[in-house]
Amino acid sequence: MLHFSRLAGATLLAAALMAGTASAQTVLRSSDTHPDGYPTVEAVKYFGELVKERTAGRYSVDVYHSAQLGEEKDTIEQVRSGVIDLNRVSMAPFNGLIPETTVPSLPYIFRSEDHMHKVMDGPVGDQIAAAFEQVGLVLLAFYDGGARSFYNSKKPINSVADMAGMKFRVIQSDIFVDMVAALGANATPMPYGEVYSAIETGVIDGAENNFPSYDTAKHAEVAKFYSLDEHTMVPEAFVMAKSSWDKLTPEDQAIFKAAAKESVAKQRELWAAKVKESRAKVEAAGSQITTPDKQPFIDAMGPVYEKHVKDDKLKAMVEAIKAVQ
């Protein structure tokens, strides 16, 4: 009887320990509007793998791709309030919340992808990252969002004059609305998931995005004319709810930061490959890609900078970016 009691006690102890282990495991939810396999989705999965490995399974990450948890505007509110833990979102929707995010969202602020990397990996990137805490978020990483260009269902765009009167979907950002207006066209802000049907039904003439989005969202099926004006290279933000971050020990915070940094290198590698693959795919499917002279597009951006870069701090950031070689 004594032996049985000891055995039963040991079994209960083991069960309690197992229950304790199970309860110690925290599954973090992360949102992304893009489909499974997209470079940002795969980068966050990679981040999750590193975190799980380095915390011995105490933390893991479930990535909800394809806007399963909502479009970007909705998920920003969810992550700020701690309803979800992590979010990969474009920088532009933060413009109204965090003034510092305005600068990397400006048209033609970056001369090249390499220039953008140097800026976001340096002091200006650190300054922008720090500003996220004021809205209840911790910036873990900046990912590549690629060069965005206009595409439409009507005609090739070879000059600013060709933009006149056309209707383009833009991100829900005042900078993007004003940029399109400065080019003589009409901007229609709408969620990413509504763009295909809006072009197909003629509600809008086109949109603007990078090759991977143009391809994976199947916009190339309904908008065959892609103009390589490369007006913006807005970085993507990978953020964590500050309420979730504050629950981590300093040691775990260091693990999360290191894993996020390593995921950046992974995402850039995947991004470069995806851009090549998507461009080849849409060209093979019949998209017409034209390369207009960018200078008239750049020259038209004066009013956008005047309106959105007013205070001295933002003006200094613009100059700091220009100075990066």
What tens digit of pLDDT does each residue of 127-161 get? 999 999 999 999 999 999 999 999 999 999 999 99
Distances (CA, A) of 21 to 26, 85, 246: 10, 21, 21
CA gap 259, 49 in Å, rounded = 9
- Per-chain mean pLDDT for the chain: 92
Set out the domains of the chain in order of their start, with CATH numbers: 26-145+235-282 (3.40.190.170), 148-233+285-323 (3.40.190.170)
Contacts of 55 (CB under 8 A, 6+ apart): 252, 255
Partner residues linked to 289 by β-bridges:
226
Band of pLDDT at residue 93, cut at 50, 70 and 90: confident
- pTM of the predicted model as reported, rounded to 2 decimal places: 0.85
Band of pLDDT at residue 73, cut at 50, 70 and 90: confident
Band of pLDDT at residue 283, cut at 50, 70 and 90: very high
Give φ, ψ of 22 to 5 degrees: -65, -40
- The pLDDT value given to residue 24: 61
Mean pLDDT of 51-63: 98
Q: Of 135, 141, 137, whose CA–CA distance to 117 is shortest?
A: 141
| Of 218 and 191, the one with more pLDDT | 218
| Of 6 and 185, the one with more pLDDT | 185
